[in-house]
């Protein structure tokens, strides 16, 4: 533990830079504790806090620019990969698209305070063609508020931080075990949340070919498109499908057959809506397996606006 404290005291700015870079890069490396500790030690040593803030902002912008460039280059493919491996898949694509579609680049100001939103939002900014200048401006404001909060906590409660550090130093090698255990519990908790979510959306699906046969047979099944309006217009929609923003707006009978589709990994958004409808008493509800991408991949027709 003494070695760890020595590293923070001697190379605090580098520790902050690396932790923030990895955290904003998507790895489960907590950035807030190092910023708090470094700020507390700076106050105890009568050193300026501004270098810590500048380094943290710079690291956050560097990481976010990588996501932004990836979104600009690979677009929806990178977004889907992120959500497929994310520890918070319920926040991916669907919800983020709705928030970003409504607020645009200014949503980046608060993105870092929303679990699972920051990396997806920065990638989405690149995919949707947000200008680099506009992206950097709002992202820098968000990074400053986020890092400034941690630094302020360290400065205000520096005596409490010092007491905690002394207690950890007293524990010696056991302190490192405690810190590693805390990190392991954090990752395990995130993994368990992901597992529970995937279990909750596990239900029977309908394949694109089955849905096409159903529609060709003249079925009255309601086909619901739960993507954002921008994505619907941009990539087209299944003929006859209804765009849905809120299931409470639907004028459907619980006895009707309902098919729900999206463009998310694991059909997450569609499955969440399907589960909500089932809770409302709808008995015949199924997500479309693979969503609109599987429908397009099967060579089935899509409608578009002129």
Distance, in Å, from the CA atom of 57 to the CA atom of 250, rounded to the nearest integer, reads: 44
SS (H, E, C) 260-299: EECCCHHHHHHHHHHHHHHHCCCCEEEEECCHHHHHHHCC
Fold of 208-297: Oxidized Rhodanese; domain 1 (3.40.250)
Kindly give the confidence (pLDDT) of every residue in the chain, 306 residues in length, as a single tens digit, with 9 standing for 90 and above.
455 555 666 677 899 999 999 888 877 788 888 899 999 989 988 989 999 999 999 999 999 999 899 888 887 676 666 665 554 554 455 666 677 767 778 889 988 887 667 777 888 888 888 899 999 999 999 999 999 999 999 999 988 888 877 776 676 666 667 767 877 887 777 677 666 766 666 778 999 999 999 999 988 889 999 888 888 888 899 999 999 887 777 888 888 899 999 887 677 788 888 888 988 889 899 999 988 989 999 999 999 874
Residue 32: name the closest of 148, 118, 119, 114 by CA: 148
Strand order in the sheet with 222-225: 242-243, 222-225, 257-261, 284-287
Distance, in Å, from the CA atom of 58 to the CA atom of 64, rounded to the nearest integer, reads: 10
Backbone angles phi, psi at 50, to 5 degrees: -60, -40
Q: Where are the domains of the chain?
A: 2-200, 208-297
């Amino acid at each position: 533990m003494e070695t760890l404290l020595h590293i923070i005291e001697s190379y605090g700015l580098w520790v902050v830079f690396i932790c923030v870079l990895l955290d904003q890069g998507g790895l489960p490396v907590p950035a807030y504790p190092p910023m708090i500790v470094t700020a507390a030690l700076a106050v105890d040593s009568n050193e300026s806090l501004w270098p810590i803030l500048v380094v943290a902002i710079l690291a956050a912008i560097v990481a976010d620019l990588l996501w932004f460039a990836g979104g600009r280059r690979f677009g929806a493919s990178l977004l889907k990969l992120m959500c497929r491996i994310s520890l918070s898949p319920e926040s991916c694509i669907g919800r983020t698209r709705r928030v970003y579609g409504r607020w645009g680049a200014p949503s980046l100001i608060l993105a870092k305070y929303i679990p699972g939103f920051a990396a997806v939002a920065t990638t989405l900014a690149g995919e949707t063609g947000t200008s680099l200048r506009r992206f950097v401006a709002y992202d820098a404001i968000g990074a400053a508020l986020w890092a400034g909060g941690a630094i302020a906590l360290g400065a205000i409660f520096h005596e409490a931080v010092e007491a905690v550090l002394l207690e950890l130093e007293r524990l010696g090698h056991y302190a490192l075990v405690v810190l590693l255990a805390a990190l392991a519990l954090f990752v395990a908790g995130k993994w368990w949340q992901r597992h529970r979510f995937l279990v909750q959306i596990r239900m029977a699906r309908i394949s694109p070919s089955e849905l096409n046969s159903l529609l060709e047979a003249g079925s009255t099944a309601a086909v619901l498109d739960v993507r954002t309006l921008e994505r619907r217009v941009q990539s087209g929609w299944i003929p006859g499908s209804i765009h849905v923003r809120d299931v409470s707006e639907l004028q459907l009978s619980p006895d009707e057959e309902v098919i729900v589709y999206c463009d998310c990994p694991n059909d997450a958004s569609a499955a969440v809506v399907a589960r909500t409808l089932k809770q409302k008493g709808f008995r015949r509800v199924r997500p479309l397996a693979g969503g609109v991408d599987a429908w397009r991949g099967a060579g089935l027709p899509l409608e578009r606006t002129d």
